[in-house]
A and B are shown apart, each in its own frame.
Chain A
């Protein structure tokens, strides 16, 4: 209990420091507004919002303020995706795909205001649940992670890439793994971290420092989005509503158990390395459908269904930051973009991170969710107007934004060539149903994997049992092996037969 109280006291100090700084509000309101706008516009995503703002705020203002801008945009964008889901039946972000299942039928039934109001409240409470989990668990895990050495770090990085490849792949799992390997291969370019041996530089001095994270992020997430979105599309017909947006206390109380359950599920899914808000939304929706008394009404305009998905995707934010801050492994694609911002500020997330940064992140998340809540309830009609903007109008501006953002982070034209090259590769990968998130996570974790894997072997004189001789490493090795084996058809069939016999 003392531990929780000391954590809350630390959080109180960080929160007070934020509240008394007038600049906080400037960055918060701007970034949350931009985030909701990005989320609300179909064709733009939360990852893109954080990536583009990393180009703008990443290393140009003090880290404290850039964290406000990036976390504000992250929280706003995940929530903003609910607007087109409910009013247009088009998910604004992948994270809000499950929201459309019940949100749009509710809007068609004339309950669009109620759906938006409850969604806003649930997103707010969901973010707070995730943030509370971040405040408590990050410290417990930080204490444990002090004992993590190179073998565990290498296996954790591998697990993050494998898990992301497994869960983010919409077609064959093998494609997710290949995407992760391509990311890892990209991270090998440049001078190697132990011996400074040049690898795959092809005599080009720019390649000696390896691929920069921000142009890779911009290329992987922005360019395919722009190419894909620049096509003629009628702006969907907005479902009109006349009921009030601000929800009553009674209805909030009624749905509080659903919101709490979904918040816990979202946080848990978010804490898995490399798994994003969309997975959290669907898992929570599936659980809600199974356990709810109104499960049969899910998909036909159920408030519980709507809240199951929407609470979880916002709660996922806090969860996704746990592995990022504790282990340096991003919990979701937007968290990968956030890691890029940390890296260009020379902050290395992981066991050695300054605890003050964690407290500040928690305080910012609380402030950002409060800002999102107030904006969502009282300025919703502004965002509804934004839905009328066709994507062929805003996507060219997004391309200009990514160009200047990518250029200014590295300050070189070569970064733009890299962005374009990665962008075309990512577009073709999208076309071939290879997921992009494992590639980006591979690029980000590749350096860590290479360094820790070789350091482990170096310290053990090439003895491979170093990856199984420590309890933590043995558990992680078993997890990696289980993850791979679980996807092999022969193993799946054998387990099926065993289950059949047991039944």
Chain B
């Protein structure tokens, strides 16, 4: 733990110094701030952040001293000291890539039901059995769908296009088929398609029509059809 503390204290010190430097942009002594003239040090917008980052610098220094005293610096570069495990690094690394592409690429650009269905399928398939090969395949599928949507429709003005929805849908169907083929003896794998379709479908409909809230990518491939038929086909039935 102390080896990790050594690195953590270094990062914290660097961050404290960086933000102390950024705080120097905010006027501290008599000057004009936010359109108010003659602001003194005691009501400057910089006084509290200065205190916070100065204290953080001091406490990180104390943490570093503790880690050096307890042998953290000696083991700072050793795998044992850092608690480094290749299996855990692979698990975290693949998850980080999946989360990144889901939030940054898929949710804004691809239909929510498709992107979330793909995510649920990939996560259950990849991590339920704890096999590294499955984790890598799950990551590859989500990263491919995400990269495709980023490359095809990066600017916000193009987020409503549907070709990346089709790519993600095909990858989802392909992964589901592969999962059912290779894991047909596992009950979890058999119920995964139901969860992957049902959970996002119920959630997005409850949010959009129950709570009347904004949902990600309203013009998505599937949700736009649901919304159209809700207002044009279904709603008139009980409105009339």
A188 CB–B CB distance under 8 Å:
yes
CB distance from A466 to the nearest CB of B (A): 10
- CB-defined contacts of B39 to chain A, threshold 8 Å: 195
Chain A residue, CB-CB nearest to B112: A404
Are A392 and B100 in contact, CB atoms less than 8 angstroms apart? no
- 1/0 per residue, CB under 8 A from A, across B1-42: the answer is 100110010001000000100110010000001111001111
- Asked if residues A403 and B103 are in contact (CB atoms below 8 Å), the reply is yes
Q: Contact between A188 and B49 (Cβ–Cβ < 8 Å)?
A: yes
Given the complex of chains A and B, what is the CA–CA distance between A451 and B204 in angstroms? 39
Nearest to B91 among chain A residues (CB) is: A231
Q: Give the residue of B36, B108, B112, B211 whose beta carbon is less than 8 angstroms from that of A195.
A: B36
Asked if residues A399 and B123 are in contact (CB atoms below 8 Å), the reply is yes
The yes or no answer to B213 lying at the interface (CB within 8 A) is: yes
Q: Which of B158-208 contact A (CB under 8 A)?
A: 188, 191-192, 195, 199-200, 203-204, 207
Known contacts: A194-B43, A407-B214, A432-B8. The answer to whether A420 contacts B99 by CB under 8 A is yes
B79 at interface, CB cutoff 8 A? no
A195-B45, A197-B26, A420-B103 known; A404 vs B59 contact (CB < 8 Å): no
Residues of A contacting B: mostly: helix
A462 touches B123 (CB 8 A): no
B77, CB-defined interface residue at 8 Å: no
Nearest opposing residue in chain B for A450, CB measure:
B48
CB distance from B39 to the nearest CB of A (A): 7
Give the nearest-CB partner of A192 in chain B: B45
Contacts of B22 in A (CB 8 A): 200
Query: Which residues of chain B are near A450, meaning CB under 8 Å?
Result: 48
| Contact (Cβ within 8 A) B124 A178 | no
Which of B1, B36, B48, B188 gathers most chain A CB within 10 Å? B48
The yes or no answer to A453 lying at the interface (CB within 8 A) is yes
Q: Are A417 and B104 in contact (CB under 8 A)?
A: yes
Cβ contacts under 8 Å, B103 to chain A: 403, 416-417, 419-420
B215 is contacted by which of A172, A232, A399, A407 (Cβ under 8 Å)? A407
Q: List, in ascending order, chain A residues with CB within 8 A of B112's CB.
A: 404
The reply to whether A227 and B204 form a contact with Cβ atoms under 8 Å apart is no
Q: Which residue of B lies closest to A457 (CB)?
A: B42
Could you tell me if A185 and B52 are in contact, using CB atoms closer than 8 angstroms?
A: yes
Q: Mark B47-59, 1 if CB is under 8 A from A, else 0.
A: 1110011011001
Q: Could you tell me the distance in whole angstroms from the C-beta of B85 to the nearest C-beta in chain A? A: 12
Q: Does A401 contact B (CB under 8 A)?
A: yes
Alpha-carbon distance A424/B98, docked complex (angstroms): 13
B59: chain A residues at CB < 8 Å are 174, 177-178, 181
A178 and B12 contacting across the interface, CB-CB below 8 Å: yes
Q: Are B26 and A199 in contact (CB under 8 A)?
A: yes
Rounded to whole angstroms, the CA-CA distance of A72 and B41 in the bound complex is 47
Confirm or deny: A316 has a beta carbon within 8 angstroms of a beta carbon on chain B.
Answer: no
Query: For residues 94 through 146 of chain B, which have their beta carbon under 8 Å from a beta carbon of chain A?
Result: 95-96, 99-100, 102-104, 107-108, 112, 116, 119-120, 123-124, 127-130
Q: Are B120 and A397 in contact, with the CB atoms below 8 A?
A: yes
Query: Is B216 interfacial (CB 8 A cutoff)?
Result: yes
How many residues does chain B have at the interface if contact means C-beta atoms less than 8 Å apart?
A: 68
**A56, A396, A408, A416 interface centre (most CB from chain B within 10 Å):** A396
Bound complex: CA A308 to CA B64 (Å): 40
What residue of chain A has the Cβ atom nearest to residue B210's Cβ? A60
A393-B188, A404-B215 given; A458·B63 CB < 8 A: no
A227→B43 CA distance, assembly (Å): 42
Q: Are A195 and B48 in contact (CB under 8 A)?
A: no
Question: A232-B130, A399-B119, A400-B199 known; A199 and B49 CB under 8 Å?
Answer: yes
Query: Are B213 and A408 closer than 8 Å at their CB atoms?
Result: yes
**Residues A181 and B211 in contact in the complex (CB < 8 Å), given A175-B63, A194-B45, A420-B103:** no
Q: Which residues of B contact A457 (CB under 8 A)?
A: 42-43, 47
Counting CB contacts under 8 A, is A461 at the interface? Answer: yes
Q: Which residues of B contact A416 (CB under 8 A)?
A: 103, 107
User: Which listed residue, B8, B43, B92, B207, touches A404 by the CB 8 Å rule?
Assistant: B207
> Once the chains bind, are A227 and B95 in contact (CB under 8 Å)?
yes
Known interface pairs A174-B66, A408-B207; A432-B214 also in contact (CB < 8 Å): no
Q: Are A404 and B216 in contact, CB atoms less than 8 angstroms apart?
A: yes
Asked if B149 lies at the interface with its beta carbon under 8 angstroms from chain A, I say: no
Q: Report the Cα distance A462→B42, complex, angstroms.
A: 5
Shortest A162–chain B CB gap in Å is 11
CB nearest neighbor in A for B95: A227
Q: A393-B188, A400-B116, A420-B99 are in contact. Are A454 and B42 (CB under 8 A)?
A: yes
Does A171 lie at the interface of the complex (its beta carbon under 8 Å from any beta carbon of B)?
Answer: yes
- C-beta contact mask, A399-433 vs B, less than 8 Å → 1, else 0? 11101100110010100110110011000000111
Query: B188: nearest residue on chain A (CB-CB)?
Result: A393
Query: Complex Cα distance A196/B26, Å?
Result: 12
- Report how far A195 CA is from B47 CA in the complex, Å: 13
12 contacts between A and B (CB under 8 A): A174-B62, A177-B59, A392-B127, A400-B200, A403-B116, A404-B215, A408-B211, A413-B216, A416-B107, A431-B4, A457-B42, A457-B43
List the 4 shortest-distance A-B pairs measured between CB atoms, nearest first: A232-B130, A195-B34, A462-B42, A197-B45
Contacts beyond the supplied A178-B56, A392-B128: 7 A-B pairs with Cβ under 8 Å: A174-B63, A195-B39, A232-B129, A397-B195, A417-B103, A432-B5, A462-B42
B contact residues vs A (CB 8 Å cutoff): 1, 4-5, 8, 12, 19, 22-23, 26, 33-36, 39-43, 45-49, 52-53, 55-56, 59-60, 62-63, 66, 91-92, 95-96, 99-100, 102-104, 107-108, 112, 116, 119-120, 123-124, 127-130, 188, 191-192, 195, 199-200, 203-204, 207, 211-216
